[in-house]
Amino acid sequence: MAIKELCKEKGMKLADLASRLGINPVSFSQAMARNSFNLPYLRRIADVLEVPVWRLFKGTESSDVSGFVKVRGEIHEIRSAADLKELASSL
């Protein structure tokens, strides 16, 4: 994830981001270590950082992004940053 880099770019510490999200910094740090964010949570992070969701991922200019995202009970396969961007914009 590129969250740390984006925070640095915005002059913000991870603890500041956690505070603006209304979460305990330790809990946020643990979630960062596990990469355990669902799409609504990622949208909140992106909103605070004022970036589109796809920018939260490293390597989003290539096909380094892959995985599965469950939205409203439906599972979507993500094979690229473009897939993720398309899914996020459809919500």
DSSP 78: E
- 47-59, pLDDT tens digit by residue? 999 998 888 887 6
Task: Supply 56's token pair.
Answer: 């939260």
Could you give the CA distance from residue 54 to residue 19 in angstroms, rounded to a whole number? 22
Question: What domains does the chain contain, in order, with CATH numbers?
Answer: 3-89 (1.10.260.40)
Phi and psi torsions of 41, nearest 5°: -65, -45
**pLDDT value of position 64:** 65
C-beta of residue 70 within 8 angstroms of C-beta of residue 37:
no
C-beta of residue 30 within 8 angstroms of C-beta of residue 75:
no
- 3-41, pLDDT tens digit by residue? 999 999 999 999 999 999 999 999 999 988 888 888 899
- The owner of tokens 């200019």 is 61
